[in-house]
């Protein structure tokens, strides 16, 4: 989703496990700003039209990140994100939960 016409609550916690290892847990909550708003991609192109739902809740995403500094200019990062569709997405088309790993 792109940063257009929605509220976003994003909070996170960083845990410094060792000098070189940091673990982060964060949650993103997304709501439509107005009932007339759809959901847009990063380029601004609409990816979900507003018709079919009066819900504001678009989705929630939980991410877990592990960063390990191998050397001064070399860092290894692993990320897992679980995206749960909110009521708006469930009411307006396909809305499977998604797991992303990087």
pLDDT digits (tens, 9 = 90+) for 16-74: 988 899 999 999 999 999 888 899 888 889 989 999 999 999 999 999 999 999 998 99
The number of domains in the chain is 1
Structural domain span for residue 93: 6-101
CB 1 within 8 A of CB 58: yes
Residue 21 lies in a domain: yes
Q: Identify the pLDDT of residue 66.
A: 97
| Model confidence pTM above 0.85 | no
Give the residue from 60, 63, 70 showing the smallest Cα distance to 1.
60
Residue 78 lies in a domain: yes
B/e letters for 67-88, b = 16+ CB within 10 Å, e = fewer, are eeeeeeeeeeeeeebebebbeb
Query: How buried is 32 (Cβ within 10 angstroms: 0-12 exposed, 13-18 middle, 19+ buried)?
Result: buried
Residue 47 lies in a domain: yes
Residue 26 lies in a domain: yes
Residue 1 lies in a domain: no
Q: Identify the pLDDT of residue 41.
A: 86
């Amino acid at each position: 989703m792109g940063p257009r016409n929605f509220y976003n609550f994003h909070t996170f916690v960083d845990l410094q496990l060792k000098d070189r290892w940091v673990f982060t847990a964060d949650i993103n909550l997304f709501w439509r700003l107005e009932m007339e708003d759809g959901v847009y991609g990063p380029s601004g192109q609409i990816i979900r039209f507003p018709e079919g739902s009066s819900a504001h809740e678009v989705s929630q995403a939980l991410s877990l990140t592990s960063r390990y500094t191998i050397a001064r200019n070399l860092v290894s990062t692993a990320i897992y994100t679980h995206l749960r569709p909110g009521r708006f997405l469930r009411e307006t088309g396909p809305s499977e939960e998604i797991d992303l790993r990087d």
